[in-house]
Chains A and B, each alone.
Chain A
Amino acid sequence: MAVKTPAPSDTVSTDRIEKRVVLRAPRTRVWRALTNAAEFGTWFRIKLEGTFTEGRPIRGRMAIPDYEHVTLELLIERIDPERYFSYRWHPYAVDPAVDYSAEPTTLVEFTLEETDDGTALTIVESGFDRIPLARRAEAFRMNDNGWAGQIKHLAKYVE
């Protein structure tokens, strides 16, 4: 199983993920890539219909092979120009047969800061501890890289 070692500036707990990267691009450029729905969709790989508006949901289909059937909804929470952008969603909501709407959401936050060599971007996703363990296990099982998936593949391979 491929396991990435987080860079020293990243922190991971059971409730939140924090990731910091320095992008060699002007803050205006990064801001547009984050908050223009079409641009966001390009790197995030989701075909969003509409624009990001505070307090409004926006939906789109994933543009990742094997996940094209998955529709995600982002509820845009705050847009603070060139500084802060946040939305809520259901993490790992990839099973079309499951209605995730009653489940707690996680909050995804992007914070920008100008640095000498570009733009520092901090991505935080938090609120995982509110998601039922059973659901987390299910997401885990559904991932082919997860334990149960690996075990099934191994079992098939040796049978």
Chain B
Amino acid sequence: MSSKSSAAPLFAALGDATRLRLLGRLAGGPLSITRLSEGTGVTRQAITRHLHALGDVGLVRHARRGRERVWDLDRKRLENAKRYIDQIAAQWDDAAERLRAFVED
């Protein structure tokens, strides 16, 4: 997990409605700036700025797909094995507490 100090810029980057919408769209897969701008009522330049703000904290990155430049959620972050383990460890915490309640009755 991030420490408090490294989490702060992350939350600052997330504290904006346009950026959250961009992340929501990218959760479905990589998209070009053109696609990301569609229906937002925000200029491509502004979208680009927001994407760079998200990129600065490691949430998104850009890549080339053919001749197109696309943006994607940072899969490294998503594929972070430690987080997966944390989730399963939390499930074991819950299971162990249920076992405790069961045998200590």
Contacts and interface: CB of A to CB of B under 8 A. Distances in A.
A6 B82 CA distance: 13
Nearest to A92: B88
A148 B92 contact: no
A80 interface: no
Contacts of A139: 84, 87
Given A3-B1, A151-B20, A151-B24, A128 B84 contact: yes
Interface in A100-159: 121, 123, 125, 128-129, 133-134, 136-137, 139-141, 143, 145-148, 151-152, 154-156, 158-159
A150 to B, nearest CB: 9
Contact of A14 (B78, B85, B98): B85
Contacts of A10: 89
B95 to A, nearest CB: 6
A17 B88 contact: yes
A51 B39 CA distance: 57
A14 B82 contact: yes
B64 interface: no
Classify chain B's interface size: 35 or more
A59 interface: no
B89 A24 contact: no
B92 A43 contact: no
B88 A23 contact: no
Contact of B103 (A17, A30, A146): A30
Contacts of B25: 155
A12 B85 contact: yes
Interface residues of A, number: 49
Contacts of A154: 14, 20, 23-24
Interface string B69-91: 00001010111111111111110
Interface in A21-77: 21, 23-25, 29-30, 33-34, 39, 42-45
A129 to B, nearest CB: 8
Which of B21, B85, B95 lies at the interface centre, i.e. has the most chain A CB atoms within 10 A of its CB?
A: B85
Which 8 pairs, one residue from A and one from B, show the smallest C-beta to C-beta distance? A155-B24, A25-B103, A137-B79, A43-B102, A43-B98, A136-B84, A14-B81, A151-B23
Interface of B: 1, 14, 17, 20-21, 23-25, 27, 73, 75, 77-90, 92-93, 95-96, 98-104
